[in-house]
Structure 1
Amino acid sequence: MLPNLTVTPAAAKFINRVVRFSGLGTGAGLRLAVKPGGCSGYSSDFSAQLAPAADEQLCEVGGVRLFLAAESRLLLNGLTMDFIETATESGLSFIDPNKEACACSSAGAPQAGVTHINISAIGRGRPVAPVLPS
Structure 2
Amino acid sequence: MTVSSQFVEITPRAREEVKRLVLAEGKPEIGLRLGVKGGGCSGLSYDLKFTPKEDKDTVIEEDGFKVFMDPKSLIYLKGMQLDFQDGLNGKGFVFKNPNASSTCGCGESFSIA
Name the counterpart of 1:70: 71
CA contact (8 A) 1:4 1:77 kept: yes
Please tell me whether Structure 1 or Structure 2 has the larger radius of gyration of its CA atoms.
Answer: 1
Name the counterpart of 2:84: 83
TM-score normalised by structure 1 residue count: 0.62
Q: Which has the higher strand share?
A: 2
User: Percent of counterpart pairs with the same letter?
Assistant: 31
| Alpha-carbon shift at residue 30 of structure 1 (Å) | 1.1
Report the count of equivalent residues.
Answer: 106
Compare relative contact order (CA 8 Å, sep 6+) and give the higher one, 1 or 2. Answer: 2
Name the counterpart of 1:52: 53
- Which of structure 1's runs of 4+ aligned residues deviate more than 4 A? 39-42, 98-102
| Alpha-carbon shift at residue 37 of structure 1 (Å) | 4.5
TM-score normalised by structure 2 residue count: 0.71
Aligned CA RMSD, in angstroms, stands at 2.9
Any stretches of 5+ residues in structure 2 without a counterpart?
none
Q: How does 1:1-134 map to 2 (within 5 A)?
A: 2=3, 4-25=7-28, 27-35=29-37, 37-39=39-41, 42-49=44-51, 51-61=52-62, 64-97=65-98, 99=100, 102=103, 107=105, 115-116=107-108
Any stretches of 5+ residues in structure 1 without a counterpart?
109-114, 118-134
CA contact (8 A) 1:12 1:63 kept: no
1:61-104 deviation digits (Å, cap 9, x = unpaired): 465411110122221101111112223422211112464564x6
Q: Secondary structure at the match of 1:55?
A: coil
CA contact (8 A) 1:35 1:75 kept: no
Cα gap change, 1:101 to 1:54, in 2 (>3 Å): closer
